[in-house]
A and B are shown apart, each in its own frame.
Chain A
């Protein structure tokens, strides 16, 4: 078994060379992950650009242009843009420029995490339980890291 895998170190990384049984099942996994990343990036870029156009058009809703990023934010003072996911969603539905940009950025941030979740499902479908475990460990560390970071706030 080890000999075979050594000669053909096939895996999820070998979409280019067809012919071996393990690679036929591998290629779609790469296509799915690649498509997920592409769609995530495209949709978030579209939202950022839409928000940017509305911001520059000065619809009166965009506040962030008036906040100079060269001046340090004042401790404890609320920013004029939403800082919760719910706030961003409500603002984006009302076509609020800052909220649209932030929704795009939140989607961008969520994309790599979604990628880990999708990889786990793909490893599960392949019956590759070692990698299901590896992926679950990464997800657990991400959640733990988030709560530790939030607690240190």
Chain B
């Protein structure tokens, strides 16, 4: 691989793109990075998955540094839902063997397709009307205000359906390892559709959360020697540059554009999972 500098150019470009899109959509970029590394560059899946986990953390911390400072990330909602994702990940590790198979792909293909439609329908809802949220959200103060430069005013919000969404993030934590998708494609729609948060708060808070869940598996990949320095190093650098660029763009981008982009990505994901379900 040392002889092909093209390999590194493609690697850096793909990583930059994954970081940029991941920062805007609240995803780790694994959806883009793993297929790009394996199909485009022919990287072995073990190295690709480890590099992708590192990229999830790079996107998360790189983007979250900016979003937390700008007040877009809701750290309370993030911490609250992390109880669901981390507990789900532990459950997934325990019962993983019992839940595999095509039925799981089929079920989640349908769920993700539904999310794609629901997010597309919500695309025009830029500002959420200031509502009271539910009792638990008020008790745990799962709300806030942020300034949206693209809209030119402050947006106030409070979470709805707090407990059902906590349940959803728990399920997302269980299945994400089994389906080979990160939590982002399930967490962002849950926060957008059910919690009725502004889309930028949903993606920024998802970004904040995904790094934590990925950290435990990243250390395990490191100990197994799957984090290839000459591969994961450039990936991390490219993803960080992309995530920082994406975080800068976030202010100017309309919520509508983020929702349309996200629902398009979900549609592709739903189709991929349907293909896996059908074998």
Contact = CB atoms under 8 A, between A and B. Distances in A.
Contacts of A98: 229-230
B144 A138 contact: no
Given A16-B146, A113-B212, A145-B216, A138 B79 contact: yes
Q: How many residues of B sit at the interface, in one of the four size bands? A: 35 or more
Contact of A45 (B82, B142, B240): B240
Interface in A36-87: 37-38, 40-41, 44-45, 48-49, 51-52, 55, 62, 64-73, 78-79, 81, 83-84
Interface stretch (B64-72, B110-118, B181-189, B257-265): B64-72
A84 B223 contact: yes
Contacts of B212: 112-113, 115-116, 138, 142
A145 B89 contact: yes
Q: Which of B90, B156, B230 has the most CB of A within 10 A?
A: B230
A41 B154 contact: no
B79 A13 contact: no
Contacts of A25: none
Interface string B34-66: 000000011110110000001001101110111
Contacts of B220: 146, 149-150, 153
Contact of A145 (B90, B143, B158, B232): B90
A64 B141 CA distance: 48
B44 A69 contact: yes
B227 A69 contact: no
A148 B144 contact: no
Nearest to B77: A13
Per DSSP, chain A at the interface is helix
Given A16-B71, A52-B237, A69-B47, A105 B76 contact: no
A48 B93 CA distance: 31
B10 interface: no
Nearest to B237: A48
In the complex, which range does the number of interface residues on chain A fall in? 35 or more
Given A69-B44, A145-B216, A55 B229 contact: yes
Contacts of A16: 70-71, 145-147, 154
B257 to A, nearest CB: 22
Interface in A103-153: 104-106, 108-113, 115-116, 119, 130-131, 134-135, 137-138, 141-142, 144-146, 148-150, 152-153
B231 interface: yes
A150 B219 CA distance: 9
Contacts of B230: 55, 62, 64-65, 67, 69, 98, 101
For the complex of A and B, 9 pairs with smallest distance between CB atoms: A9-B143, A13-B144, A141-B86, A112-B211, A37-B65, A79-B225, A13-B74, A34-B69, A15-B71
Interface of B: 1-2, 41-44, 46-47, 54, 57-58, 60-62, 64-66, 68-71, 73-77, 79-80, 82-83, 86-87, 89-90, 93-94, 132-133, 135, 137-147, 154, 156-158, 201, 211-212, 214-220, 222-234, 236-237, 240
18 contacts: A9-B133, A9-B144, A11-B75, A11-B142, A13-B201, A30-B75, A44-B236, A52-B233, A55-B233, A69-B230, A70-B43, A109-B215, A115-B61, A119-B79, A134-B83, A145-B216, A145-B217, A149-B220
